[in-house]
């Protein structure tokens, strides 16, 4: 299988290192210093199983890498439109595209019937207002995924991760297919726990809960995951955001299988880890507030659910991001 990782950040490099060290040839779409490092030294990952270093094929040109059978799009949400446009030369009739992107996916209402959702076929306006993302990657190419990987990029193409890796995948029409199982086995062979599901949207909401309760508030407070979910000054606020999000998920028929206190305990158990959004903020990078936050509020509003605490925290995080951008 011809595999390309589009995006060489922390998650992209983690997946690339694992796949490459399992013997799978991997291509990476990258640029700048990261591309130079990939070409000269390959990709390096330090995780619970030790050190993993591997050579990969790398380029800043999708046309140079050529058609691919599987493309894992590992980019931050603000860069998604550019990356989806960039990968066009790599698509063929049977290419599978798996977006590994936080928050509500642009394709959320695609692949559904009106019996499954009264919003079937509609766009998530916060993310894809003009439908351009859906045009770039038609639904037939897509498999949804939720990745539970906490990783930090310590240098170009060099990543550290101190928690177990888990990847859950599912067809966007909730069917169990041969291509889904083949990709699951490929990921599992790479030493990543891989699961296939017949309802990827339940898993998406589980990850949304983790992201929206931690990421925006971490920008405001500078707190780690452990602090957010356990410190008496913060945990009450986190719990209110959690309750609002669980209600929004339920209004769309999604089932988050963990009870609220278990979610709080799991967050505490992640330890002194900075969220990806806090890392982006400290690096002066754009924040994924649209996918992780505002799109969730849009989903709630569609079903008449209010999220006042969540909206206020998002507004504060956006204010800080805008202030930082104005000083740049």
Task: Please tell me the distance from the alpha carbon of residue 110 to that of residue 124, in angstroms, as a whole number.
Answer: 10
CB 258 within 8 A of CB 246: no
Catalytic, 207? Answer yes
Q: Which of 140, 189, 207, 274 is catalytic?
A: 207
Structure tokens of 290? 């649209």
Task: Please tell me the distance from the alpha carbon of residue 32 to that of residue 30, in angstroms, as a whole number.
Answer: 7
**CB crowding 240-260: b at 16 or more within 10 Å, else e:** bbbebbbebbeebebebeeee
Burial of 299 (0-12, 13-18, 19+ CB in 10 A): buried
CB 153 within 8 A of CB 7: no
CA 106 to chain CA mean position, Å: 12
Structure tokens of 97? 């595209």
Task: Please tell me the distance from the alpha carbon of residue 103 to that of residue 123, in angstroms, as a whole number.
Answer: 15
Contact residues for 274 (Cβ-Cβ < 8 A; gap 6+): 152, 218, 224, 225, 282
Axis-axis angle for helices 200-221, 235-251 (nearest 10)? 150
Task: Please tell me the distance from the alpha carbon of residue 290 to that of residue 211, in angstroms, as a whole number.
Answer: 12
Strands (E), the chain: 3-6, 26-29, 43-47, 50-54, 57-59, 70-73, 96-99, 143-148, 152-155, 158-160, 166-171, 193-196
The residues assigned a catalytic role are: 207
């Amino acid at each position: 299988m011809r595999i390309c990782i589009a995006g060489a950040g922390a998650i992209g490099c983690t997946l690339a290192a694992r796949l490459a060290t399992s013997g799978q040839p991997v291509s990476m779409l990258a640029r700048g210093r990261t591309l130079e490092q990939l070409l000269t030294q390959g990709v390096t990952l330090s995780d619970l199983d030790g050190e993993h270093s591997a050579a990969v094929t790398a380029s800043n040109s999708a046309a140079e890498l050529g058609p691919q059978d599987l493309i894992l799009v590992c980019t931050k949400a603000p860069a998604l439109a550019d990356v989806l446009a960039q990968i066009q030369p790599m698509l063929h009739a049977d290419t599978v595209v798996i977006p590994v992107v936080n928050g509500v996916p642009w394709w959320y209402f695609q692949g559904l019937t009106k019996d499954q959702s009264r919003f079937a076929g509609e766009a998530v306006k916060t993310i894809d207002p003009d439908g351009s993302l859906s045009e770039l990657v038609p639904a037939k190419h897509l498999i949804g995924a939720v990745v539970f990987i906490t990783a930090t990029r310590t240098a170009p193409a060099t990543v550290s991760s101190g928690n177990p890796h888990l990847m859950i995948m599912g067809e966007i029409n909730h069917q169990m297919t041969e291509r889904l199982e083949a990709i699951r086995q490929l990921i599992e062979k790479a030493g990543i726990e891989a699961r296939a599901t017949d309802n990827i949207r339940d898993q998406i909401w589980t990850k949304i809960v983790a992201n929206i309760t931690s990421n925006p508030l971490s920008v405001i407070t500078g707190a780690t995951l452990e602090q957010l979910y356990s410190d008496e000054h913060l945990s009450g606020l986190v719990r209110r955001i959690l309750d609002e999000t669980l209600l929004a998920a339920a209004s769309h028929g999604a089932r988050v299988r963990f009870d609220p206190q278990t979610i709080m305990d799991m967050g505490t158990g992640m330890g002194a880890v900075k969220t990806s959004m806090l890392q982006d903020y400290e690096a002066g990078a754009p924040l994924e507030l649209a996918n992780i936050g505002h799109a969730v509020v849009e989903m709630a509003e569609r079903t008449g659910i209010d999220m006042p605490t969540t909206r206020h925290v998002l507004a504060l995080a956006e204010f800080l991001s805008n202030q930082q951008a104005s000083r740049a």
